Structure 1
Amino acid sequence: MLGKVLELSKPPEPVDGVHRRDLRELNSKEAVAGNLPILNFLNMLVVVVGNIGDVVGVTRVVEGQHHSNQVVVQLTIKHMSTMAVVANGKEECHNTGVAVVDVEFLPVHQEQFPSCTKPHKSSTKLCRTGPPSFPVEASTEGVQQQFEELVIQGQSSTSQAIQPAPQSSKSVRFPMRPGKGTFGDRCIVKANHFFAELPDKDLHQYDVSITPEVPSRGVNRAVIGEIVTQYRQSHLGGRLPVYDGRKSLYTAGPLPFTSRTFDVILQDEEESLSGGQGTQRRERPFKVVIKFAARADLHHLAMFLAGRQADAPQEALQVLDIVLRELPTARYSPVARSFYSPNLGRRQQLGDGLENMSSTAFIEPLPVIDFVAQLLNRDISARPLSDADRVKIKKALRGVKVEVTHRGNMRRKYRISGLTSQATRELSFPIDNHGTVKTVVQYFQETYGFNIKHTTLPCLQVGNQQRPNYLPMEVCKIVEGQRYSKRLNEKQITALLKVTCQRPQERELDILQTVHHNAYHQDPYAQEFGIRIDERLASVEARVLPPPWLKYHDSGREKDVLPRIGQWNMMNKKMVNGGRVNNWTCINFSRHVQDNAARSFCRELANMCQISGMDFSIEPVLPPVTARPENVERALKLRYQDAMNILKPQGGELDLLIAILPDNNGSLYGDLKRICETDLGLVSQCCLTKHVFKMSKQYLANVALKINVKVGGRNTVLVDALTRRIPLVSDRPTIIFGADVTHPHPGEDSSPSIAAVVASQDWPEVTKYAGLVSAQAHRQELIQDLFKVWKDPQRGTISGGMIRELLISFKRATGQKPQRIIFYRDGVSEGQFYQVLFYELDAIRKACASLEADYQPPVTFVVVQKRHHTRLFANNHKDQRTVDRSGNILPGTVVDSKICHPTEFDFYLCSHAGIQGTSRPAHYHVLWDENKFTADALQTLTNNLCYTYARCTRSVSIVPPAYYAHLAAFRARFYMEPDTSDSGSMASGAHTTRGGGPPPGGRTTKAAGNVAVRPLPDLKENVDSKVQTAFLNMESYSILVNPSALHELCCIVVTSTYTSERLLFQTDPYLVQPSSRCMHAQLHCWNCF
């Protein structure tokens, strides 16, 4: 029903400590369609209580003012379970002890809810508490006014019509597909998607309540399974239900009751121990209440798939998902939403007691003694365990489930909680209440007739510290099917990549084998619900986009090149803008490389740099020197000082360090980059030992490309960019952003996440990029520093943030302000689409508005996804015209039908040629498009940009801005202090601050939840001057550099989180004075470049 309006006409009187408001009623016939800009809620908490299905309009509330009859959002009550909190325009949900509701936001006209005077007597209420403590937001009157004026200009608007940033999932629809693409050569590909026939069944949903509650889905499934086994033909009316493991049960037709209670008794899988003695299996009683909830309608799913409904009906999809997961859950090892089985795919040992099953690591089901021997890589009976050995074993086995082998067929199971500090022969425990003590060795001999051989080893502890329960290692075997969730070491990663690298034809056969093994036509649950699965790969229409022409320097014999099958080379070509390296030196950290080999390698590399178009000195400042990896800091600083002693009197600088590293270098690479970039201010190029002995021209040419972009050069540009023929890019100044957030490895509970944003700094070429990196709260996906506002005691309100600074940098580099923004966002799952779009598009809007009144360039926001399971295969693997050398589909293959969204603007693009294994296409989903891209325009732009990646002569798998952002975030982690807890370890190469003190500057910031986040260190200024894109900002103390040469080569940018505390206590030496042309007393003023 549409009919409740919340009106704030005067300050409320507190009732029971909570401010309350009366309600106004409206006849639903008076509602009219329309749009109204959504305004920010400032410092306000709202709790809406009412009936399911009620639609509530909420008035705008500004701090210190109360405006009645200005409805800005429409709230639809969904279900009774949570409290909706609206603060600063964002919706959050919190558990509460009272029956309250979820809300959905919809933009509505003020006229949709006219003023009414008759109070409504229902239970729906608006409650306002005191202002909460939120960070300072960009809520100035100027920005607020701009957003109020951003009204969509009707259906006839052009790409210049700017829409207000959406505030919730109901205030925005993702862009509709602007027709399918037509550009390129048409072909047919096969996808690992399988067509399903929808059931024509009367589906019913039932709520399940199990008492006592248990967190384990496995236990819940066992309880429901027991009910089905005992009562299917009687109380369940012959129905075979499916269960999600939590609160919902579904049937293909009604059960013969609306509510029923069942009593179930389960026997514990794990034996209960007391003082080391086993007892009978514990029987656990449960009370289960199954109650009718709703009927699931599949009509909306059919409408969605036909493109006649915009939103996917999640309830119907959930039912089908649960039905198809029911049998695999019982048959395989479920991990999140995946299933693994040793009977499928290729099984491969990874070392240290791990094995691979279908591309994830499992703990090998070995006797624990053998597992420990593999883990330590030695005979454990030869000598006692060291303290380090004990820590390694404890971390590897904690939480692992084992079964005992000393009791014949009685294989009781236990979960390991720790390792005893004493050897088995030293352990004893009381066996009765009279203080009688018996050793573990005696107990096993007298009770089971088992002689313990490895008495010097510790026991496994399967109880807790208060009631210790011991199991000797040699009587335990690891239970099969347990995933290894910790980080793999280098050897294990190599083994995993080797076994998972399958040619496309092999992978296709494996997929078909798995589908055949699942035998959906024999699945009793699929049969019960009438679901039929086609066991053939889906045939999909596709197109192969042509490669773009690339421009090289006119002095080369080949000035333009047309890549062939996603690749080309540097023969007869010169870089379009060659960089300069006058002074360089080399340090060799590999004991296998002799001095003469290092000199020869450096000479060949210098020659290649010259041949490729760089101004590169053949002779080094100092000859190569050899150093030990453990002395990396001393060696770097000493060599740098020696070089500067020669160069400084001449007014010169050391431009480049070439470092030769061992092939397996552990933390050496990360330490070297950290020291060079944050301490010495030195651009470095790392090369592995194997390439010194196996030099190839292709390798040397690729390294030359990397060096060139590090020192400010440019390798190539698109011909279409130079001739201004890129639609919606060349016609007006356009900035292209890339953004990504990388999170710590599993088990690292305290390490921050790293956010990176890069942006193009040249136009119309769009090949050079600058970037910013910042640390933020652990596993926070939203980029917190896109736009920030804070208070400075002397200067007042200050605006900053990564978007704002990159926009300023673009204008400084090109002399023009961006008139169009294209934003590629990496690393976002489908469930986060709305959340990321609302937060980050709003930050982009505010950053633009903070620079200039009415400055709102149109934005296109595209999510880039690589972590999906879709694979595309050639229709005919033997047709050489449709595959590359690796047997994969051709680079440029794009799919925008059948396996894509029925109505929204998305596509799969395989932009790269395969090397090994099966190519994974990138999935691009457009979440916001004010530039009105056609399918051909966006697909072609994205594909062509993939040929401009600076570090190689190949097209890459994802669009370069997103790729650069990922590399920048990855590099920044080398500068973070490692996690020293037992939960895990930092990435190889992370640096520990000496003495355990704070990072340089001693600065820390506060993230959400008042958790301290250690900021990243600043880079040395002369690192950035070498790449000629240095840019310092006093407000944020950030540095911008060219990240296109990231990964193992280059210098990146780092910036800390923006906080008022930092401004108060900052003592950074890099303080930049305002431009002499600036009339506004601002740093890097937008209007004074």
Structure 2
Amino acid sequence: MRERVFKVFIKLASITDPDHLEQFLAGEQSDTPQETIQVLDIVLRESPSNNYTAIGRSFFSMKMGQRTDVGDGLECWRGYYQSLRPTQMGMSLNIDVVAASLYEAISVIDYVQKLLNLRDPSRRLSDSNRIKVKKAVKGLHVELTHRKEEKRNKITGITTQPIEQLMFTVDEGGRRMSVAQYFHDKYDVKLRYGHWPALQAGSDSKPAYFPMEVCKIVEGQRYSKRLNVKQVTNILRASCQRPKQREDNIKTMPLHNDYKNDVFAKEFGIEVIPQLVVIQTARVLPAPMLKYRDTGRDVRLQPRMGQWNMINAKMVNGGTINHWMCINFSFLNEEPAGYFFHGLVSMCNSKGMSINPTPLLPMHSTRSDQIERTLIEAHTQSASKIASSGQQGNLQLLIIILPDLTGSYGKIKRICETELKQWALSRRMPIVSEKPTIIFGADVTHPSPGEDSSPSIAAVVASMDWPEISKYRGLVSAQHPHQELIQDLYSLVEDPQKGTSHAGMIRELLISFRKSNGFKPHRIIFYRLVLLWKRGTVVDSMICHPSEFDFYLCSHAGIQGTSRPTHYHVLWDENNFNSDTMPILTNNLCYTYARCTRSASVVPPTYYAHLAAFRTRHYIEGEVSDSGTGASATSKQQAEVRSLPKIKDNVKDVMFYC
């Protein structure tokens, strides 16, 4: 093996200033000494990086917990997360237990069989299964088992042809040979799965092909794609811990890491106190009193433990549904389905809504592979029935029974053009009821890692019904993949392909607020969902920012495990909120979530924005193509300029995303 010479250049990146950090912690400096904090954070991560498997900002070790099989070739690893943060107490080490989904370190053959739940691996893979495998293994690192020396490769795709038919040029003379024959002649390996495709490494111009049965998944690779329902359930079951158990596990982390004898920490003069901080100044905020219609048995309800029961209450402004129908794509008989829908209508009417007890058209049962044709027919037939009866309006509610939890839901939401009615409770909100107020919520959802052909989707919602603050109008916009800044928030947006332009989302929502209420808002409150950090409990001291306005609020009661508070950071305040009014307003808003009679963990405007952005992704995800992207998106360039389907006028003013 010949010697190789490397030239190394060391460049000064920045100079740390401990004095600046001390002044910042004392509130004498406003700008954060990020470089100094980063250096100290790296110092405390050095020893764990040598002793544990580091994945992102988290550390995992078999000594700290067992691995749990979560299905389809994945397993759950338990570990911990740590970061150094400036707080009012000084520099604080934030430690928490974490769980992550990783690929099992098994042969690719075994992984594919688990992924596809194959009972008979002697058959060739169908096109749909081959595409599913391609998306699952792309970017995966594997080690080859047919060579003596250890060799790792990154998978870039899989072939369309099976190994026994996949030919390549062997030598300069142009002699061609199948991959299966090559492995037999070169390595004396007789392949058992020659009827399966090969894994591809390298580029399309210079590919390298490897049979799946000689490839083993390298240990410690995080699974970053979307989990299915079974996997999510298994991970929650494996990782959920009650507060006392979670606290005990966190307490053991400093003992495992032994910060006291850490040579790196000692060299930098860092001392870690191995006790949890006890917050003495946390406050429990009172839950707001909820007001329902005066004709109900219960007019006012006081939530307890973040939830309440409205069985004896009626909604203040219940929705009206004159035209509705049902389509059955499942194997459920029409008789039990009919009982359910009659019961649903009866319950809705008893809660203050007004729903026609008779559907516009009889229930229609059909096969699940006829979704698009059936929905188009339902739209046409319902419009014809309404017109022939001399009535006004459109189909307002379409109830669909799905056969499974796969892709049917996304396809249905993409096709449906019916109007949905919002059923919300009316509650007067302290603070914002003093003057006309509009509350915004914003979020951006990004495509899964590796899906560069799909755009990021930004969503902004705004309240339209002052002073109740319960009805929100939403707008969505596509932008460059993985861009966190909302591009169309304020600017004038032009579409040169259509020759049209429209105002930024903020301006459009402000105009809608004025049309809805008859006046302009006097106050604007904007919530932006960035990152998620105990039931109405607020903490605004000790562990918060040394000089800025932030607080931790646990506005919900966790159903299982340990509730995680949300971290709110006030970036700009022209309304003169104080440490009481802002947390109280935010906590009260969490009781206006329209989906359920429970308080939400995140303030509803941002929750709605997240739902709107997430829902919109269903509209652009068509049938899966061989490229692993939506059928209409074939390149990153196309995805960046691709516009979203226009939201129908009859759903713009209702919460279709909720």
Structure-1-length-normalised TM-score? 0.53
Secondary structure class of the residue paired with 2:434: coil
- After superposition, the Cα gap between the structure-2 partners of 1:346 and 1:427, relative to the gap in structure 1 and judged at 3 Å, is same
* Equivalent position of 2:613 in the other structure: 969
Shift of 1:320: 0.7
Match of 2:406 among 666, 670, 680: 666
- After superposition, the Cα gap between the structure-2 partners of 1:1010 and 1:458, relative to the gap in structure 1 and judged at 3 Å, is closer
* Equivalent position of 2:262 in the other structure: 523
- After superposition, the Cα gap between the structure-2 partners of 1:398 and 1:584, relative to the gap in structure 1 and judged at 3 Å, is closer
Cα separation, 1, equivalents of 2:374 and 2:186? 63
Match of 1:497 among 236, 256, 259: 236
* Equivalent position of 1:917 in the other structure: 561
Secondary structure class of the residue paired with 1:822: strand
Q: Which amino acid aligns with 1:1014?
A: R
Structure 1 residue 946 corresponds to structure 2 residue 590: yes
Cα separation, 1, equivalents of 2:14 and 2:474? 51
Shift of 1:479: 1.8
Match of 1:367 among 107, 110, 126: 107
Higher-Rg structure is 1
* Equivalent position of 1:624 in the other structure: 363
Match of 1:338 among 58, 81, 85: 58
Cα separation, 2, equivalents of 1:465 and 1:780? 28
Structure 1 residue 908 corresponds to structure 2 residue 552: yes
Match of 1:1016 among 628, 632, 644: 644
Once the two structures are superposed, what CA deviation does each residue of 1:1009-1049 show, in whole Å capped at 9, x if it has no partner?
Answer: 9975222233444x34xxxxxxxxxxxxxxx4132x633xx
* Equivalent position of 1:350 in the other structure: 70
Once the two structures are superposed, what CA deviation does each residue of 1:106-152 show, in whole Å capped at 9, x if it has no partner?
Answer: xxxxxxxxxxxxxxxxxxxxxxxxxxxxxxxxxxxxxxxxxxxxxxx
* Equivalent position of 2:226 in the other structure: 487
* Equivalent position of 1:816 in the other structure: 519
Cα separation, 2, equivalents of 1:295 and 1:749? 37
Q: Which amino acid aligns with 1:520?
A: Y
* Equivalent position of 2:657 in the other structure: 1046
Q: Which amino acid aligns with 1:306?
A: A
Cα separation, 2, equivalents of 1:762 and 1:934? 25
Contact kept, 8 Å, 2:457 with 2:616, in 1: the verdict is yes
- After superposition, the Cα gap between the structure-2 partners of 1:555 and 1:455, relative to the gap in structure 1 and judged at 3 Å, is closer
In angstroms, what is the RMSD of aligned CA positions? 3.5
- After superposition, the Cα gap between the structure-2 partners of 1:535 and 1:985, relative to the gap in structure 1 and judged at 3 Å, is farther
* Equivalent position of 2:326 in the other structure: 586
Shift of 1:826: 1.5
* Equivalent position of 1:682 in the other structure: 419
Q: Which amino acid aligns with 2:560?
A: Q
Structure 1 gaps of 5+ residues are 1-279, 684-709, 828-864, 869-888, 987-991, 998-1006, 1025-1039, 1048-1089
Shift of 1:625: 2.6
Structure 1 residue 899 corresponds to structure 2 residue 638: no
Contact kept, 8 Å, 2:163 with 2:197, in 1: the verdict is yes
Contact kept, 8 Å, 1:738 with 1:824, in 2: the verdict is yes
Q: Which amino acid aligns with 1:659?
A: I
Match of 2:453 among 747, 750, 766: 750
Match of 2:306 among 566, 571, 576: 566
Cα separation, 1, equivalents of 2:360 and 2:11? 81
Shift of 1:978: 3.6
Contact kept, 8 Å, 2:414 with 2:620, in 1: the verdict is no
Shift of 1:586: 1.9
Cα separation, 1, equivalents of 2:298 and 2:66? 47
Shift of 1:575: 0.7
- After superposition, the Cα gap between the structure-2 partners of 1:942 and 1:286, relative to the gap in structure 1 and judged at 3 Å, is same
Cα separation, 2, equivalents of 1:620 and 1:547? 39
Once the two structures are superposed, what CA deviation does each residue of 1:319-364 show, in whole Å capped at 9, x if it has no partner?
Answer: 1111122233333333333333444344222333222223322121
Shift of 1:979: 8.2
Cα separation, 2, equivalents of 1:456 and 1:611? 61
Structure 1 residue 761 corresponds to structure 2 residue 464: yes
Secondary structure class of the residue paired with 2:572: strand
- After superposition, the Cα gap between the structure-2 partners of 1:327 and 1:429, relative to the gap in structure 1 and judged at 3 Å, is farther
Once the two structures are superposed, what CA deviation does each residue of 1:820-877 show, in whole Å capped at 9, x if it has no partner?
Answer: 11111123xxxxxxxxxxxxxxxxxxxxxxxxxxxxxxxxxxxxx31x4xxxxxxxxx
Shift of 1:974: 2.3
Secondary structure class of the residue paired with 1:525: helix
Once the two structures are superposed, what CA deviation does each residue of 1:199-229 show, in whole Å capped at 9, x if it has no partner?
Answer: xxxxxxxxxxxxxxxxxxxxxxxxxxxxxxx
Once the two structures are superposed, what CA deviation does each residue of 1:694-722 show, in whole Å capped at 9, x if it has no partner?
Answer: xxxxxxxxxxxxxxxx25x542313xx4x
Alignment of structure 1 residues 117-128 onto 2, 5 Å: none
Contact kept, 8 Å, 1:590 with 1:660, in 2: the verdict is no
Contact kept, 8 Å, 1:748 with 1:979, in 2: the verdict is no
Structure 1 residue 783 corresponds to structure 2 residue 523: no
Q: Which amino acid aligns with 1:517?
A: H
- After superposition, the Cα gap between the structure-2 partners of 1:356 and 1:714, relative to the gap in structure 1 and judged at 3 Å, is closer
Shift of 1:313: 1.0
Secondary structure class of the residue paired with 2:525: strand
- After superposition, the Cα gap between the structure-2 partners of 1:456 and 1:968, relative to the gap in structure 1 and judged at 3 Å, is closer
Shift of 1:804: 1.7
- After superposition, the Cα gap between the structure-2 partners of 1:809 and 1:496, relative to the gap in structure 1 and judged at 3 Å, is same
Secondary structure class of the residue paired with 1:754: strand
Secondary structure class of the residue paired with 1:772: strand
Cα separation, 1, equivalents of 2:341 and 2:407? 24
- After superposition, the Cα gap between the structure-2 partners of 1:716 and 1:349, relative to the gap in structure 1 and judged at 3 Å, is same
Contact kept, 8 Å, 1:486 with 1:984, in 2: the verdict is no
Contact kept, 8 Å, 2:306 with 2:556, in 1: the verdict is yes
- After superposition, the Cα gap between the structure-2 partners of 1:457 and 1:636, relative to the gap in structure 1 and judged at 3 Å, is closer
Shift of 1:571: 2.2
Structure 1 residue 288 corresponds to structure 2 residue 19: no
Cα separation, 1, equivalents of 2:415 and 2:206? 49
Secondary structure class of the residue paired with 1:286: coil
Shift of 1:423: 2.2
Q: Which amino acid aligns with 1:348?
A: T
Q: Which amino acid aligns with 1:497?
A: L
Secondary structure class of the residue paired with 1:735: strand
Contact kept, 8 Å, 1:584 with 1:654, in 2: the verdict is no
Q: Which amino acid aligns with 1:786?
A: L
Match of 1:605 among 344, 351, 354: 344
* Equivalent position of 1:1084 in the other structure: none
Contact kept, 8 Å, 1:747 with 1:984, in 2: the verdict is no
- After superposition, the Cα gap between the structure-2 partners of 1:663 and 1:514, relative to the gap in structure 1 and judged at 3 Å, is farther
Structure 2 gaps of 5+ residues are 79-98
Secondary structure class of the residue paired with 2:419: coil
* Equivalent position of 2:83 in the other structure: none
Secondary structure class of the residue paired with 1:285: coil
Shift of 1:819: 1.3
- After superposition, the Cα gap between the structure-2 partners of 1:505 and 1:732, relative to the gap in structure 1 and judged at 3 Å, is same
Q: Which amino acid aligns with 2:68?
A: Q
* Equivalent position of 1:734 in the other structure: 437
Contact kept, 8 Å, 2:612 with 2:657, in 1: the verdict is yes
Cα separation, 1, equivalents of 2:426 and 2:177? 78
Q: Which amino acid aligns with 2:335?
A: N
Cα separation, 2, equivalents of 1:617 and 1:509? 55
* Equivalent position of 1:717 in the other structure: 427
Once the two structures are superposed, what CA deviation does each residue of 1:357-410 show, in whole Å capped at 9, x if it has no partner?
Answer: 2332212111233223223322565234445554444443344333344566x5
Contact kept, 8 Å, 2:383 with 2:395, in 1: the verdict is no
Match of 1:321 among 17, 35, 41: 41
Contact kept, 8 Å, 1:599 with 1:623, in 2: the verdict is no
* Equivalent position of 2:94 in the other structure: none
* Equivalent position of 1:550 in the other structure: 290
- Between the two proteins, the alignment pairs up a number of residues equal to 632
Q: Determine what percentage of the aligned residue pairs are the same residue.
A: 52
Shift of 1:465: 6.0
Contact kept, 8 Å, 1:333 with 1:482, in 2: the verdict is no
